Amino acid sequence: MGSNFFGLLTKQLALVVFFVCFAWLITGSLMVSVSLVFILYVLWNSLVFSAIRASIDSDLKIEWLGTRGFYSELYSAIQGLIKQSWGYRKRFISLISEVNALAGSLPDAGIIVNNRLIIEWCNKASKELLGINSAHDIGQRIDQLLRYPAFLEYLQNPKADYLDIEDQANKRHLRFRVIRYNKDKRLISARDVTQQVKTNEIRQDFIANASHELKTPLTTIKGYSELIVDSNFNPQELNSLATVITAQADRMNKIIEDLLTLSKIESRSVSIDKEEIDVTELLLQVVRAFEYLVDRPETKIDSTSTRMLLADEQLLHSIVENLLSNAYRYTPKEGGIILRSRDYEHETIIEVIDSGLGIPNNEISRITERFYRIDKGRHSGTGGTGLGLAIVKHSLDLLGGTLEIESEINRGSIFRCRFPIKNR
């Protein structure tokens, strides 16, 4: 580059000297020829530079400069630089649009505000989540658009990593974060955490319920044990106290067993051995297992199923057993219970029908929740754990089936298990 440049400069100088000598020869005056060549040189340079300028603006090539010589080299160097800068510009534009597309596809809302809380940028999700629209809200103050007082306080003084706000109007929970990424700019991000909050609540409720359920029999056991230690009972009295203690211990055991079963089913860590099951035979077996119950309501089996159902026998047995056990516990002995089964083209349906207490309409959707009970009064002495229907629901899930409940208070309930039949 250096030698090329000096070569061209030398050529230029040689040309100037040649023209000066030539003009001197013609005019006979060195002063005149130097002035003449200087004026012509300046004029030529102005012409070439104006042409180059015009060519840059209009994007037209200057053909008359040719491909050789000082100006032509200068021209092509300038053109090279322009091309390069277009390349950078193109890459820059595509990078910006990529960043925009990325920010637009983020599920979290992102808003940039300056020190005066004026919105300078926001992504697509901020419209869906917070109603802040890049089309008309840029330039507005964020505190005019988001008016949650806790958020505004947090924005001024973000002490914690994030702030959760319950948006009661839209029945959701939002998690805000504020990141100051330079002296006068802040990025506000917001995310819908409704599901997370709900899961947390369910977990906390579950822990509280499980502790309560276990604490009740434990308190009885402790009270009776203290009574035995502190007092002098005769063997008969001791025997009846021990019976109560054993019954409460059994209850605790049942709760823990049901919890373990539920946890295994929910985490899908039970092994499922699908085999062809004769539904009518299975219903008979389940009813037989309750034969020991005295004073149970009359129980009938009404099954026309002839199809062999492909399912895990143990799970299916426990589903029907749980439903029948509930029917016995919530139906007076004068009532009746029917276990019905039917084959349809695309499904087999097993129903446990009772004429018992029934379930209030507004509670039907909740009774499969863990530990959910309709009212504590009706449960005294039923011996339930509050986990039976949760086990039924999750077991059905595992088998690809669904549970439907129909009920009318004081008339009875139908628990319907639907098993879709897949083409084998």
Q: Which residues bind ligand ADP (CB under 6 A)?
A: 326-327, 330, 354, 356-359, 367, 372-374, 379, 384-390, 413
Return the residue matching tokens 């749980």.
322
Nearer to ligand ADP, 279 or 389 (CB): 389
CB of 395 to ligand ADP, least distance (A): 12
Q: What is the total residue count of the chain?
A: 424
CB of 148 to ligand ADP, least distance (A): 39
Nearer to ligand ADP, 224 or 290 (CB): 290
Nearer to ligand ADP, 189 or 331 (CB): 331
Nearer to ligand ADP, 264 or 307 (CB): 264
CB of 382 to ligand ADP, least distance (A): 6
The whole-angstrom separation of Cα 257 and Cα 357 is 27
Nearer to ligand ADP, 309 or 390 (CB): 390
CB of 387 to ligand ADP, least distance (A): 6
CB of 300 to ligand ADP, least distance (A): 16
Position with the least CB separation from ligand ADP: 384
CB of 252 to ligand ADP, least distance (A): 14
Nearer to ligand ADP, 166 or 363 (CB): 363
Nearer to ligand ADP, 137 or 213 (CB): 213
CB of 359 to ligand ADP, least distance (A): 5
